[in-house]
Amino acid sequence: SQTHIPIVAYGPLSPYLEEQLKARFRVHEVAADADPTALDGAVREARALVSFGSVGASAAIMDALPRLEMIGLFSVGYDKVDVAHARKKGIKVSNTPDVLTDDVADLAVGLLYAAVRNIAANDRMARSGKWALGQQVALSGSVTGRRIGILGLGRIGRAIARRLEPVASEIIYHNRRPVAGSPYRYVQDRIAFARESEVIIVATSGGPEAHGLVDAAMLDALGPQGMLINISRGSVVDEDALVAALTEGRIGGAGLDVFVNEPQVPEALFTMDNVVLQPHQGSATINTRKAMADLVLANLDAWAAGKALVTPVI
Ligand code: 8YV
């Protein structure tokens, strides 16, 4: 039994994960917005920290926990973890890849259909009673036959591409480097990639390297009929440039699950019928959230037993 090991649940975490952590460790619950320099003595004994995507682990929380050895992350994205600082301090980090790939890819495809076919706007129209009063449906573009550009051909990008193979006229991708053995056409220049894409689906990982990658120039290259779908991180897109491009009709529409300053969504988007908004729900299915929690636990169990992590970041 490991129940003596003190850990921090940086939360709120899901009830299932909290309960399972409590069955294994001595859990100190710390609110994600708590001041790291004001933690009390017992909490500072923690040897592991469990956190989630939008909070991660800053250098400040690592420094506030002098005995910290392990960070178990309830997300595949680790852009909010100061990995360089963790590495310097010899702190291990795990994430939750693979188990969420299918659900996130499904949401990307759903957002594509919703944005192109006006599903959310037409739902509002039908509900409002305007349809019954004779309002005509606004004609939309088609999904089938589009050239689809995947930005970031990793696990999730590939799962999205596989789903869209039957309907796309072509699937192209932009990545830091070509993916060996990929059946899709690589476009090395990101502006040329955007010019050729009729839809861009953002599936790259977040973090400093991808920060603001989708900028005004890329959006203009995507063009007035083009659609932007983002299930990755808000920070990959210059959000001000996106709002401006949508406001001025320089791109056709967007389907967004992620935002720069979540849960804040730019208010200008609220009135746009060509934009579909989701509250960062890509991985939020019953099965996937359970699988993510179980993978966090498997990583913590491995660490506590002195074994190699199951899904290490470092
Ligand atoms: C969130 C995610 O972390 O896995 C990721 O990278 O963005 C999501 O799974 C989720 O909101 C859990 O908090």
Q: Do 59 and 172 lie in a common domain?
A: no
Domain match, 66 and 148 both: no
Q: Is residue 311 part of a domain?
A: no
In a domain, 314, yes or no: no
Q: How many Å lie between the centroid of ligand 1 and the Cα of residue 280?
A: 8
**Same domain, residue pair 123 and 272:** yes
Ligand 1 proximity of 278 Cβ (cutoff 6 Å): no
Q: What distance in Å separates the CA atoms of residue 255 and residue 8, rounded to the nearest whole number?
A: 35
Q: Does residue 313 belong to any structural domain of this protein?
A: no
Active site residue 280: yes
pLDDT one-digit tens code per residue, 83-138: 999 999 999 999 999 999 999 999 999 999 999 999 999 999 999 999 999 999 99
Q: What angle do CA 60, 73, 211 make, to 5 degrees?
A: 70
Total structural domains within the chain: 2
Q: From the alpha carbon of 55, which atom of ligand 1 is closest?
A: 13
- Expressed as residue numbers, the domain containing 83 is 6-98+286-304
Residues 185 and 261 reside in one and the same domain: yes
Q: Is residue 312 part of a domain?
A: no
pLDDT tens for residues 199-242?
Answer: 999 999 999 999 999 999 999 999 999 999 999 999 999 999 99
Same domain for 212 and 75: no
Amino acid letter at 29? E
275-306 per-position pLDDT tens digit: 999 999 999 999 999 999 999 999 999 999 99
Q: Indicate which atom in ligand 1 lies nearest the CA of residue 233.
A: 7
Q: State whether 149 and 56 are in the same domain.
A: no
Instruction: Give the CA count within 13 Å in the CB-facing half-sphere of 218.
Output: 24
How many angstroms is it from 80 CA to the middle of ligand 1? 11
C-alpha span between 104 and 37 (Å, rounded):
36
**243 and 117 together in one domain:** yes
Strands 227-230, 170-174: parallel, antiparallel or unpaired by DSSP? unpaired
180 shares its domain with 261: yes
Domain assignment present for 1 = no
Specify if 211 maps to a domain. Answer: yes
Residue 1 has pLDDT above 60, yes or no: no
- Kindly name the residue from 28, 190, 280, 289 that is annotated as catalytic: 280
Looking at the structure, tell me whether residues 155 and 220 fall in a common domain.
yes
Two tokens, residue 291 = 């699988």
Look up the pTM and report it: 0.97
Percent of the chain clearing pLDDT 70 (strictly above): 99
151, 213: one domain: yes
Indicate the SS3 state at residue 180: coil
Residue 58 belongs to a domain with what CATH number?
Answer: 3.40.50.720
Q: Check whether residue 172 and residue 263 sit in a common domain.
A: yes
pLDDT digits (tens, 9 = 90+) for 251-266: 999 999 999 999 999 9
DSSP string, 147-163: EEEEES-SHHHHHHHHH
Indicate if ligand 1 lies below 6 Å from the C-beta of 234: no
Are 260 and 152 within one domain?
yes
Distance CA 142, CA 140 (A): 7
